[in-house]
Amino acid sequence: MLIQTLQLEKEVTTQEGILHILEPIELAIEAGQTVAIVGASGSGKSTLLSLLAGLDIASRGEVVIDGVALSQLDEEQRARLRAEKIGFIFQSFLLIPSLTALENVMLPAELAGQKNAEQQARELLVKVGLGERLTHYPNQLSGGEQQRVAIARAFIGTPKILFADEPTGNLDAATGRKVEDLLFAMNQESGTTLVMVTHDLQLAQRCQRILRMEVGRLTEVTADVA
Amino acid sequence: MWHKISWRLLRQELKRGELTIMAAAIVLSVTAVLSLSLFTERLQAGLLSRSAEFLAADRVLSARQPIPTEWLEQAEQFDLTTAQRVVFNSMAFANEQLALIDVKAVSEGYPLRGELRLAEEPYGAEISVNDVLPNPGEAWAASALFQELGLKIGDTLEVGHSEFVVSRVLTYEPDIGFAVFTDSPNVLIRYDELAQTGLIQPGSRVRYHILYAGSEAQLNAYYEWLAPQLSDDLHSWRSIADGDSPLARSLQRAERFMLLASLLGVVLAATAVAVAAQRYCQRNYDVVAIIKTLGAGRRQIQQIFILHLLLLTFFSIAVGLLLGWLIQAQVIDWVARQLGTSLPTVTGRPYLLAAGTGFISALMFTLYPLLRLIQIPPLRVLNRQLTGTDRWRWLHWLASAGAIYALLVFYSQHWLLSTAIFAGGALAAGVLLFVSQLFIRVSRQAGMQAGSAWRLAMAGLQRRARSNRVQMLSFSTAIMLLLLVLALRHELLADWQRQLPADAPNYFVVNIAPTDVERLQQEFAQRDIEAADLYPVVPGRMTAVNGVPVRDEVTKEARGDEADVSAHNEEQREGFGRELSLTWRDTLPPNNRLVRGQWWEPGTTTAQVSVEAEVAERMNLQVGDELEFNIGGNVFQLPITSIREVNWGSLQPNFFMIFNTAALEDFPATFITSFNLPEPRKSELFELFKHFPQVSLIDLDALIEQLREVIDQVSVAIGFVLVLVLLAGILVLLAQVQATLEERQQELVILRTLGASSKLLNRSITYEFLILGAISGVIAALAMELVLWILQVQVFDMTPSLHWRFWLIGPISGAVVVAVLGRLACFRLVRRNAAELIRKLA
């Protein structure tokens, strides 16, 4: 099991009292699986994603990534884990505006201390069709191009897991489809485990499993949707 | 790897202009400090060297016994130019009359600084001579001696065993000083003819001097060698800055002003860095969150951003140093031309100071923002509201305050002044924060009744209350410091002008016999010469305080009633049991201010005395103490009933001790007065004083002229300092406006999308800045008044005053400048259409 949660809960304290964002969640994802988490806004999908990726800490319960319990790790160790095993794609691309496409893609590999970061980044950018735009800055690229840079960045260093948060949410339909195709093609090629949060049912259906999040409760709906 | 990322971030951000404000703030702080300190140091060096004329040298060593020749030889080893001067009193005989004279025997090279001026007849037209001494067997004598002894050019003057032919009239000696009571006419002879006079005997009251000229470094090196051999009792080492002459006072005051203005400039520039640093870090919140998400540990983030900041700091310091050097080179050139002199070059200290300022401000002000930046949680990639922990905010205040204090001390090397300014500043900042909060709240209420643009502006003010409070604090600080420098400059110049009005007395008349008083007054009236009050002078000793005899204390105070840098007065100060010049008077003299006790009613019969404040402080004299005086063998006691501050800078007769009339009027007295006679009427003097042979006339024209020259130079310098402080102030305002741009951008998107016209947006922005500026201006004027009052009283020895016009200038200029800057900064933002703005925000 590559990703596993054990009675994972998240709550926050507000002025009105304690708010349960995630009810106890049991989830197991095999290596190589593609999983979509769907649900309405505010249902808790992004919170689940942040807990799975070690960006946030659970109130109770456990997340186990590749045999490592995240609650046992401090922030530094979680960062190291992300550097080694996890790639990210975000709705708003989250490229660093002052770095070129190439430098953005190189960044995770460099942070992980890999030697051939530039070589890998070039190849990936060529693969996503941006071989000619290596030295362009994010603001010189269209939304679709920026997301392709983000995809290239996500795959550098061959992570075991890829977390995607609404990867096509900021793109028009046509561009969105192209980006989807690219994402799934690359994912298939590298055999990465993909966990994707999306509103888009059509996109979700391209995943092997679909999970629905409703008011903090997670249910498997793969069969229903299929 | 991290250093590559760091370098890459910096390179691109610099190229893309994203670090402009931060870099500009550091550049400006470095530029300002460098050009200010280079300029002030060079100017001070220039002023000092010009003022050295008053010593006739750069340094003077005085001794009460002959100075070992080895010391003179050693000076040559240090490449110093030297001359010898020996001064003593003697009687001179000519035309069967005797007169007390001051003999000055000088060696080749005298004067090392400044020049001698001579005339062919008493009070006649002057010619300047340099490096020339009387021929052997000749002497040059002051006009007063010609008058006293009825001398003519070519007459013989007997001094001791020698006879000298008086060949010229000595009209000006640079080192004549300003000694009114003790001055006998001067006679200048050659040093190598001194021995023949036979006047130098063991026990004679003689002052020996070596005059030195050379570079500061040479002089300091020599002094280091010399110092261990000097004895406090026998020797004194002087430079012009040590003196308490009107000139030295003006210089010290100017120096303090420049120091203070530069300090304020430094604080302003540092404030700009602080504002920019905060923004620099905020701009990087997202970058840190992304990098952390991608797997960077805290240590890597630290390394990346500390290096990033260091690189930025280095780069900006380098640019700042270059710019500062260029500016001061241009300005120095211009000023030198204005002053018609060349300004000497200085040490590397200003460069060190400037680079240090850049470092301290960049590092200390970014400490907290950087700490916060490093703390940004990776989760920010999903939730933009997360800005990390705020619990280290106290550290920010500590580091910023520490930085400002460190800069103050670093720059001024003056603990007390730095602490005073710092404490005052901290107090003012606290009050400012409170007051600005209050203003914002009140203006919000007022705004609710106003039109839509106003309402929007007020709402904006209120919404950003927290950032506005800080913004207002820096606006107020900037405006306050600018007003302060402006007001101080005005006060300082006005004070000098008051001290040296066009009709400042340029002659002192001393030794007027009581029987001559009326006749002299008639002469003055006939010739339409306006003289100051006549003061009686009674020589006397102060012998005891509250029954305890004084010895040394008296002699120290018996320093000649007018401050002086001349050789004569050095002797007076150190002399033993010297007489004071005492006077009596019914009313408090002009230029005197009562600080304690009460002035007596005219006609009071109980004997009492008023003491000058500095003397009182040094001798620890209080109102009510009984002083004992001995006047011509008559010993009597009387109480101190008041203590006065005296403006020694005023060219008026001034006294340490003033008695009420009943206490002194029965003692024999002579009288003293001062008057102004314009240059063209100078020739009348001989005629005027012909009938008063025992009266001595002291010419102050040369002194006044030099004083004016120095004041002119300092005024130019102050103007330059003002411009730099102004620039620093504008940068603070700009940095502050820039800092809120991003926040405004978001708001503009919403308003624009909702259909607000650019006219409305423009107006609301203008109004918001207008209000901010005006409120800051009011607060600034208030704070400035308070600070100025403290400075005038504590630092500049000036009479404090209110500055009403700044109460108007503050708010108006604040409102206009802040509104213009704000409008300019937001100009592009308002012109963008909504879609563009939304895209940019995304």
Domain final residue, candidates B413, B447, B479: B413
pLDDT given for residue B392 in this prediction: 73
Please give the angle made by the CA atoms of B428, B433 and B436, to the nearest 5 degrees. 115
**Average pLDDT taken over every residue of chain B:** 78
Which residue of chain B is at minimal alpha-carbon distance from A91? B382
Cβ-Cβ contacts under 8 Å, B8 against chain A: 99, 103
Q: Which of A41, A39, A61 is nearest to A51 (CA)?
A: A61
Cβ-Cβ contacts under 8 Å, B287 against chain A: 96, 98
Choose the closest CB to A110 out of B1, B299, B382: B1
pLDDT given for residue B417 in this prediction: 72
- Please compute Rg for chain B using Cα positions: 34
Q: How far is A159 from chain B (nearest CA, A)?
A: 11
pLDDT given for residue B443 in this prediction: 64
pLDDT given for residue A212 in this prediction: 93
B297, A88: Cβ pair inside 8 Å? Answer: no
Choose the closest CB to B9 out of A98, A117, A165: A98
Does the structural domain A31-60+79-225 have CATH classification 3.30.70.330?
Answer: no
What pLDDT, in 10s, does the model give residues B723-736? 777 777 777 777 77
**Average pLDDT taken over every residue of chain A:** 89
User: Which three-class secondary structure state does DSSP give residue B550?
Assistant: coil
Asked whether the predicted pLDDT for residue B578 surpasses 60, the reply is no
> Are B268 and B722 in contact, with CB atoms under 8 Å apart?
no
pLDDT band at B335 (very low <50, low <70, confident <90, very high): low
Most B CBs within 10 A among A81, A100, A111, hence the mutation to make, goes to: A111
Q: Is residue B527 part of a domain?
A: yes
Whole-number Å distance between alpha carbons of B213 and B52? 9
User: Which three-class secondary structure state does DSSP give residue A171?
Assistant: coil
Q: Residue B532 sits in which domain range?
A: 507-699
A55, B286: Cβ pair inside 8 Å? Answer: no
Q: How far is A208 from chain B (nearest CA, A)?
A: 25
**Residues B749 and B646 grouped into a single domain:** no
**Residues B748 and B784 grouped into a single domain:** yes
Asked whether the predicted pLDDT for residue A172 surpasses 80, the reply is yes
B295, A86: Cβ pair inside 8 Å? Answer: yes
Choose the closest CB to A75 out of B4, B287, B298: B298
pLDDT band at A29 (very low <50, low <70, confident <90, very high): very high
> Are B124 and B151 in contact, with CB atoms under 8 Å apart?
no
Other residues' Cβ atoms within 10 Å of the Cβ of residue B634: 10
Choose the closest CB to A110 out of B4, B18, B381: B4
> Are A88 and A166 in contact, with CB atoms under 8 Å apart?
no
What pLDDT, in 10s, does the model give residues B740-798? 776 677 677 777 777 777 777 788 888 888 888 888 888 888 888 887 787 777 766 66
Domain final residue, candidates B667, B699, B731: B699
What pLDDT, in 10s, does the model give residues A119-133? 999 999 998 899 999
Is B16 at the interface with chain A, CB within 8 A? Answer: yes
Q: Which of B233, B232, B250 is nearest to B241 (CA)?
A: B250
pLDDT band at B566 (very low <50, low <70, confident <90, very high): very low
| DSSP annotation of B241 | G
Whole-number Å distance between alpha carbons of B743 and B300? 29
pLDDT given for residue B344 in this prediction: 62
pLDDT band at B181 (very low <50, low <70, confident <90, very high): very low
What pLDDT, in 10s, does the model give residues A200-218? 888 899 999 999 999 889 9
> Are B210 and B67 in contact, with CB atoms under 8 Å apart?
yes
The distance of Cα B256 from the centroid of its chain, to the nearest Å, equals 3
Cβ-Cβ contacts under 8 Å, B300 against chain A: 111
Q: Which of B802, B841, B797 is nearest to B256 (CA)?
A: B797
Cβ-Cβ contacts under 8 Å, A100 against chain B: 12
Other residues' Cβ atoms within 10 Å of the Cβ of residue B603: 9
What pLDDT, in 10s, does the model give residues B368-398? 888 888 888 888 888 877 777 677 778 778 8
Which residue of chain B is at minimal alpha-carbon distance from A92? B842
B293, A82: Cβ pair inside 8 Å? Answer: yes
pLDDT given for residue B180 in this prediction: 45
Which residue of chain B is at minimal alpha-carbon distance from A164? B382
Q: Which of B367, B432, B374, B356 is nearest to B401 (CA)?
A: B367
**B312-331 average pLDDT score:** 86
Please give the angle made by the CA atoms of B315, B321 and B324, to the nearest 5 degrees. 135
pLDDT band at B558 (very low <50, low <70, confident <90, very high): very low
The distance of Cα B317 from the centroid of its chain, to the nearest Å, equals 28
Q: Is residue B46 part of a domain?
A: yes
Distances, alpha carbon A17 to alpha carbons A11, A14, A20, in Å: 10, 5, 10
Cβ-Cβ contacts under 8 Å, B280 against chain A: none
For chain A, the residues whose C-beta falls within 8 A of a C-beta of chain B are: 46, 49-50, 53, 55-56, 75-76, 79-84, 86, 88, 90, 92, 94-96, 98-100, 103, 107-108, 110-113, 117, 137, 153, 165, 170
**Residues B139 and B193 grouped into a single domain:** yes
What pLDDT, in 10s, does the model give residues B232-251? 777 888 776 555 455 666 66
> Which residue do the tokens 């260029």 mark?
B326
**A89-107 average pLDDT score:** 89
Which residue of chain A is at minimal alpha-carbon distance from B6? A99
pLDDT band at B706 (very low <50, low <70, confident <90, very high): low
Higher local confidence (pLDDT), B180 or B443: B443
pLDDT given for residue B131 in this prediction: 61
What pLDDT, in 10s, does the model give residues B353-362? 888 888 888 8
- DSSP code string of B313-355: HHHHHHHHHHHHHHHHHHHHHHHHHHHTS-PPP--SHHHHHHH
pLDDT given for residue B552 in this prediction: 42
Which residue of chain B is at minimal alpha-carbon distance from A102? B8
**B132-147 average pLDDT score:** 87
B16, A98: Cβ pair inside 8 Å? Answer: yes
pLDDT band at B555 (very low <50, low <70, confident <90, very high): very low
Q: Which of B531, B21, B504 is nearest to B277 (CA)?
A: B21
Parallel, antiparallel or unpaired: strands B580-584 and B657-659: parallel
> Are B139 and B159 in contact, with CB atoms under 8 Å apart?
yes
pLDDT given for residue B841 in this prediction: 52
B286, A112: Cβ pair inside 8 Å? Answer: no
Asked whether the predicted pLDDT for residue B563 surpasses 50, the reply is no
Whole-number Å distance between alpha carbons of B505 and B304? 69
**Residues B202 and B271 grouped into a single domain:** no
Cβ-Cβ contacts under 8 Å, B292 against chain A: 79
Number of domains in chain B: 4
ipTM for the assembly: 0.90
pLDDT given for residue B840 in this prediction: 56
Most A CBs within 10 A among B382, B384, B836, hence the mutation to make, goes to: B382
pLDDT given for residue B319 in this prediction: 93
What pLDDT, in 10s, does the model give residues B655-667? 888 999 988 888 8
pTM score: 0.64
What pLDDT, in 10s, does the model give residues B398-456? 888 888 888 888 777 778 777 877 877 777 678 777 876 776 677 666 655 555 677 77
Q: What percent of chain B has pLDDT over 90?
A: 8
Whole-number Å distance between alpha carbons of B599 and B620? 20
Higher local confidence (pLDDT), B412 or B527: B527
The enclosing H or E element of B524 equals helix B514-526
Is B381 at the interface with chain A, CB within 8 A? Answer: yes
Is B287 at the interface with chain A, CB within 8 A? Answer: yes
pLDDT band at B144 (very low <50, low <70, confident <90, very high): confident
Q: How far is A139 from chain B (nearest CA, A)?
A: 9
**A182-189 average pLDDT score:** 90
Q: Which residues pair with A90 in a beta bridge?
A: A165
Cis geometry, peptide bond prior to residue A167 (ω within 30 degrees of 0): no
**Residues B801 and B710 grouped into a single domain:** yes
**B87-116 average pLDDT score:** 85
CA distance from start to end of chain A: 24
Cβ-Cβ contacts under 8 Å, B382 against chain A: 46, 49-50, 55, 90, 165
Asked whether the predicted pLDDT for residue A48 surpasses 80, the reply is yes
Q: What percent of chain B has pLDDT over 70?
A: 79
**Residues B39 and B175 grouped into a single domain:** no
Choose the closest CB to A55 out of B18, B297, B379: B379
pLDDT given for residue B449 in this prediction: 58
Is B14 at the interface with chain A, CB within 8 A? Answer: no
pLDDT given for residue B54 in this prediction: 65
**Residues B106 and B231 grouped into a single domain:** yes
Is B17 at the interface with chain A, CB within 8 A? Answer: no
Asked whether the predicted pLDDT for residue B580 surpasses 70, the reply is yes
Asked whether the predicted pLDDT for residue B27 surpasses 70, the reply is yes
pLDDT given for residue B570 in this prediction: 34
A55, B16: Cβ pair inside 8 Å? Answer: no
Is B384 at the interface with chain A, CB within 8 A? Answer: no
Asked whether the predicted pLDDT for residue B273 surpasses 70, the reply is yes
pLDDT given for residue B786 in this prediction: 80
pLDDT band at B190 (very low <50, low <70, confident <90, very high): very high
Cβ-Cβ contacts under 8 Å, A197 against chain B: none
**Residues B363 and B448 grouped into a single domain:** no
CA distance from start to end of chain B: 30
Q: Residue ranges of the domains in chain A?
A: 31-60+79-225
Other residues' Cβ atoms within 10 Å of the Cβ of residue B425: 22
Whole-number Å distance between alpha carbons of B660 and B586? 6
> Are A34 and A206 in contact, with CB atoms under 8 Å apart?
yes
Higher local confidence (pLDDT), A135 or B22: A135
Other residues' Cβ atoms within 10 Å of the Cβ of residue A202: 12
Asked whether the predicted pLDDT for residue B119 surpasses 70, the reply is yes
B300, A80: Cβ pair inside 8 Å? Answer: no
Asked whether the predicted pLDDT for residue B107 surpasses 80, the reply is yes
A107, B291: Cβ pair inside 8 Å? Answer: yes
Q: Is residue B752 part of a domain?
A: yes
Most B CBs within 10 A among A89, A92, A110, hence the mutation to make, goes to: A110
Cβ-Cβ contacts under 8 Å, B18 against chain A: 98
**Residues B539 and B573 grouped into a single domain:** yes
Asked whether the predicted pLDDT for residue B78 surpasses 50, the reply is yes
In sequence order, what E strands does B95-234 have? 97-106, 116-119, 126-129, 138-142, 156-159, 162-172, 186-190, 206-213
Is B296 at the interface with chain A, CB within 8 A? Answer: yes
Size of interface A-B (CB pairs under 8 A): 87
> Are A216 and A183 in contact, with CB atoms under 8 Å apart?
no
Choose the closest CB to A99 out of B9, B293, B378: B9
